[in-house]
Chains A and B, each alone.
Chain A
């Protein structure tokens, strides 16, 4: 921002002519100089504008636009946007390391490993691939299809029973990356929380 305020203090008469000449030379060079030339006109009043604004057009009533009443607009169901990544994830933590998987990716949690699902991150953050590799002893990855992830197809009973027998924490993956799995007939896109996933 550049702001110039001309000196408001009193000036000697002898200097007025010189300063007037200088300011006259300066006046075309600043503020609003892009304005159209023409005689100054009186500032419009509220009444002047009321009269001008009387005929408000609806420019959307133009070719190419099918006008609709604003009242017909509806908001779609809550747009799925993650405010924070951690807020929409399950934290897995063990041995001084932690990682994130999407909420709903953990399919089964043996009671003995409940403590490895953390409320807050602690330790060193590592990528999922590294965390999974280091903790193969208690993590099992279950490859699912996109249809199963969307809840359009269910995991077979045989698979879910196997999870219980494995005694390991089960994470759904697709192409190696953890993926959330919706329970069938879920409403509004709410993902199953780990606490709702089968536990011993």
Chain B
């Protein structure tokens, strides 16, 4: 136990760090010249920056340093310029998930970009009248549903700029997309992110354009289409007792309900008498797609008579209900049940 004591003391000391252990700094960094200038600030209060911002703006950073450990905390940061275009990006999809815009590869969505603060008045620098709008995309690494471990974003190698344009006037820009722009060998299974970025511009519209500070960035997660497969039954076999049927469910949409139904006859658009298998339900309310396996056992009671039946996996998402897979025919033949045995004593 002795060796734990110093650790506990250190931990306790850290937890009891007093405000006077911290020294705060505001550093102004002029973006055009690189000049850096410190203003020591009190823990609370406000003050005017004694020096103005340059034509290219200044980056103000608020730091707090814990004296005893020299740990730095970057508390806040603001970019300020005399001419400061701003942008707001809103992505609307069919999924009402509130935390991040997300959709499925085959679903439409729209992007609304509201630009303000552009000016072409006399004396204003050229960068005050233009912003750069870029649209890029990146696929998640194989077998993964994020860029986790990469600082939360795609690397430059992974990301591809698929569209770019300059905006020279304030107002709303509406971009409507019929489906994702991600590509891949199987379009139903691509997943990744599409990103729209509005950036300030330097270079005054000359060639090449130079992208400066990011004013607004917004991303859309794109998820694949789920798929399913039945195993354990053979369409050529006739069953009096249905063996356990395994249903493999892959890439279930993060907000979905999936289940199996059965009905007599071949696959039909609006089958009569379809019955949902009660122990097949899988409900997903998550942030990433999920895989599941469901086993259907002792389902003979669902078949009233001998005949051929269709099994279907249905998958309901915010975008509607899809039939992921169908199995036909599941041949039920109750006449081949063993009713008894006869023994001969000879």
Enumerate chain A interface residues (CB-CB to B < 8 A): 1-11, 13, 16, 19-20, 22-24, 26-27, 30-36, 38-46, 49-50, 52-53, 56-62, 64-70, 72-77, 79-82, 84-86, 88, 100-104, 120-121, 124-129, 146, 149-151, 174-175, 177-182, 189-191
Contacts and interface: CB of A to CB of B under 8 A. Distances in A.
A180 B35 contact: yes
10 contacts: A23-B278, A32-B253, A40-B321, A53-B179, A59-B177, A73-B161, A88-B27, A126-B23, A126-B67, A179-B38
Contacts of A174: 37, 50-51
B17 interface: no
A74 B181 CA distance: 23
Contact of A46 (B61, B135, B186): B186
A43 B324 contact: yes
Contact of A32 (B106, B275, B290, B318): B318
Given A75-B210, A80-B31, A27 B257 contact: yes
B149 interface: no
**Considering residues A33, A35, A190, which has the most beta carbons from chain B within 10 angstroms of its beta carbon?**
A35
Nearest to A20: B278
A38 B335 CA distance: 39
B320 A41 contact: yes
Interface stretch (B8-16, B82-90, B166-174): B166-174
Contact of B285 (A1, A79, A180): A1
**Considering residues B96, B179, B321, B324, which has the most beta carbons from chain A within 10 angstroms of its beta carbon?**
B321
Given A58-B163, A80-B29, A191-B35, 15 more contacts: A4-B281, A9-B297, A23-B276, A35-B319, A36-B319, A46-B188, A50-B187, A65-B167, A72-B207, A102-B37, A146-B51, A177-B50, A181-B35, A182-B33, A190-B34
A32 B276 CA distance: 17
B297 A66 contact: no
Given A46-B187, A191-B36, A73 B51 contact: no
Contact of B105 (A2, A49, A67): A49
A5 B292 contact: yes
Contacts of A69: 164
A30 B298 contact: no
A49 B168 CA distance: 36
Interface string B154-185: 00000001111111110101111111010000
A32 B280 CA distance: 16
Nearest to A88: B36
A82 B167 contact: no
A6 B173 contact: no
B259 interface: yes
Contacts of A103: 36
Closest 6 CB pairs of A and B: A189-B34, A125-B67, A74-B208, A31-B257, A102-B36, A175-B50
A127 to B, nearest CB: 4
Nearest to A76: B210
B284 A16 contact: no
A54 B287 CA distance: 30
A29 B168 CA distance: 47
A179 B49 CA distance: 14
Given A5-B292, A62-B173, A146-B35, A43 B323 contact: yes
A5 B258 CA distance: 10
B327 to A, nearest CB: 14
A41 B312 CA distance: 11
Given A27-B281, A65-B173, A189-B34, A84 B257 contact: no
B269 A68 contact: no
Contacts of B280: 6
B40 interface: yes
A142 B225 CA distance: 67
B146 interface: no
B70 A125 contact: yes
**Considering residues A45, A67, A101, A179, which has the most beta carbons from chain B within 10 angstroms of its beta carbon?**
A179
B294 interface: yes
Contacts of A49: 105-106, 179, 187-188
B295 interface: yes
A200 to B, nearest CB: 26
Interface in B4-58: 23, 25, 27, 29-31, 33-40, 50-51
B166 A65 contact: yes
Contact of A44 (B40, B188, B286, B294): B188
Nearest to B64: A85
A127 B175 contact: no
**Considering residues B34, B70, B186, which has the most beta carbons from chain A within 10 angstroms of its beta carbon?**
B34
Contact of B96 (A5, A34, A65): A34
B272 interface: no
B81 interface: no
B25 to A, nearest CB: 6
Nearest to B189: A46
B214 to A, nearest CB: 10
